[in-house]
A and B are shown apart, each in its own frame.
Chain A
Amino acid sequence: MAYSDKVIDHYTNPRNVGTLDKAKTNVGTGLVGAPECGDVMRLQIEVDENQVITDAKFKTFGCGSAIASSSLATEWLKGKTVDEALAIDNMAIVEELALPPVKIHCSVLAEDAIKTAINDYRVKNGLPELEMAKSHH
């Protein structure tokens, strides 16, 4: 299948690859997917005292679309407040990367990774856990 230029760009030059210290209280980690499904995404955010995401890192085991989706997610996360980040919808990722229908799964995974990372941050900071919509895939 022919990927869009944006997918190829993110795959070839992934943004924000790396690891944040998950022990820190201002770092939230979201690990989603499973090795046997062929994709695992780990997304991390670092949040300042104003609830602004100052850094985001990812590592992904998966296809080109999964790598591109998580790379794009980290770009979008930086500079947003935690609440703004919560509003990121997987369909926005699908549109931005022009993912084909069989790859929508990768964008759902990215959205779940964002929400899981935010939840991890919230729990660490004594905030109530968010209601996670059970993803349908």
Chain B
Amino acid sequence: MLSLPIYLDNNATTPLDPRVLEAMMPYMTNLFGNAASRNHAFGWQAEEAVDYAREQIASLINCSPKEIIFTSGATESDNLALKGVYEMYASKGNHIITVTTEHKAVLDPAKHIEKMGGQVTYLQVNDKGLIDLKELEAAITDKTILISVMYANNEIGVIQPIREISAIAKKHGVLFFTDATQAVGKIPVDVEADGIDLMAFSAHKMYGPKGVGALYVRRKNPRVKVTAQMDGGGHERGMRSGTLNVPGIVGLGKAAEVAKQDMESDNARISAMRDRLERELTTIEESYINGSTEHRLPHVSNISFKYVEGEGLMMGVKDLAVSSGSACTSASLEPSYVLKALGLSDDLAHSSLRFGLSRFTKEEEIDYAINHVKEAVSKLRELSPLWEMFKEGIDLNSIEWAEH
């Protein structure tokens, strides 16, 4: 039995895996101790649970458990990495390099750094959403202290050439941070093989709970330090004060364990469904897949349906929870800056939907989604003056549009 609406917005957040909830439950009830309480069994049990979670996470990303700093989520991890590195390494230089398609949780701290007197280079991406490694290398100066490039993009799922980027960073003695929020738990991420110095990720993108995440901070070759952004009890090796969210951390640990165990089989199934969804939806005339299809997360698809506006389309597919590249709901009416960065025209950027599948997505949900989207696009095109003009062979660029 199909239950509506169907959730296909797993880049925004994923449902909690029942196995994760089960692991968390005791720590939300009778095992409620503070992991920092060193004098009694309640504290020891909590600390033990946190240590175990560190091991589970370390095993997923191939690091030492000591290199995991728990935070409230990827946004905090991003802030701690950027601002923390900037403050810690200020004597070495004030220049960082990042990319225009990063999440706001990276771009906004980068702007903050600029306000504090730092220099930031924002690399462009090509039409596939990938950075140019030569441009990256050319941007490095003797003042560069950090390169921040996201592992996989949240809107289009495109995976950057992480190993090549880290090799360039290493060659120039620059630290490499990656916001891997969309990648960790979804594809194999190995901080050793990938040459990552700092990495942000979050539990709720990998079937864990909301409100907990981590920052990986390398301890050897090189030993990396970040200046704490919150002062207090000096938890997490002094880099992030605050009482540990024990049940959340247990959940993140369990989510990591499940991800490691199920990733391969999950991805085989999810990517087959995604590819079928995409194959079917691109049979719709004038529909285009956004971003590289070669270097991409297995569960993400971003498609533009030309001559149909994204928010209007979302309303037409009311039984699907998806997201739109159009930002018509905001006062600015600006389309997605990520899609714009790929060189998409404004009208195409206004016309896109993002589909994010998950471990829990069912075949029949994909069948339903395919039909639902096809019907809605067809219905809205009947309403669209642009579609009519296109069908009549009128060049839309030849029209002098009234500026609004």
What residues of chain A have their CB less than 8 Å away from a CB belonging to chain B? 1, 3, 11, 14, 17, 19, 31-42, 59-64, 66-67, 102, 105, 109, 112, 116, 135, 137
Task: Check if B385 sits within 8 Å of A37, measured CB to CB.
Answer: no
Residues of A near B329 (CB, < 8 A) are: 1, 63, 102
Residues of B within 8 A of A112 (CB): 402
Q: How far is the CB of B248 from chain A (nearest CB, A)?
A: 30
Given contacts A19-B388, A38-B333, contact A67 B383 (CB under 8 A): yes
Residues of chain B within 8 A (CB-CB) of A42 are: 385
The tally of CB-CB contacts under 8 A between chains A and B is: 98
B346, A36: Cβ atoms under 8 Å?
Answer: yes
Given contacts A11-B315, A61-B309, contact A36 B383 (CB under 8 A): no
- A41, A42, A63 — most chain B CB neighbours (10 Å): A63
A63-B312 in contact (CB<8A): yes
Contact-residue bracket for chain B: 20 to 34
Does B331 contact A38, Cβ atoms closer than 8 Å? no
What are the residues of chain A within 8 A of B387 when measuring CB–CB?
A: 61
Complex Cα distance, B308 from A128, in Å, reads 36
Known contacts A17-B383, A38-B326; A64 and B404 CB within 8 A of each other: no
Q: Are A61 and B307 in contact (CB under 8 A)?
A: yes
Cα distance A135–B402 in the bound complex, in angstroms: 10
Cβ of A102 and Cβ of B330 under 8 Å apart?
yes
Partner of B331, one of A35, A60, A61, A102: A102
- B291 interface hit (Cβ, 8 Å): no
A16 to chain B, nearest CB (A): 11
**How many angstroms from the CA of A17 to the CA of B383 in the assembled complex?**
7
**Complex Cα spacing A66 to B313, Å:** 12
Known: A33-B401, A135-B404. A67 touches B382 (CB 8 A): no
Of B384, B396, B399, which is within 8 A of A60 by CB? B384
Contact A35–B383 (Cβ < 8 Å): no
How far is A3 from B329 in the complex, measured between Cα atoms in Å? 12
Contacts of B396 in A (CB 8 A): 35
**Looking across the interface, which residue of chain A has its beta carbon closest to that of B403?**
A34
| A35 contacts across to B, CB distance below 8 A | 345-347, 350, 386, 396, 401
Q: Are B315 and A61 in contact (CB under 8 A)?
A: no
A60→B379 CA distance, assembly (Å): 12
Cβ of B402 and Cβ of A34 under 8 Å apart?
Answer: yes
Bound-state CA distance A82–B350 (Å) is 34
A105 x B333 contact (CB < 8 A): yes
Indicate whether A63 sits within 8 Å of B328 (C-beta atoms), given known contacts A35-B346, A35-B396, A135-B404.
yes
Chain A hits for B404, CB < 8 A? 32-34, 37, 39, 105, 109, 135, 137
Contacts of B382 in A (CB 8 A): 17
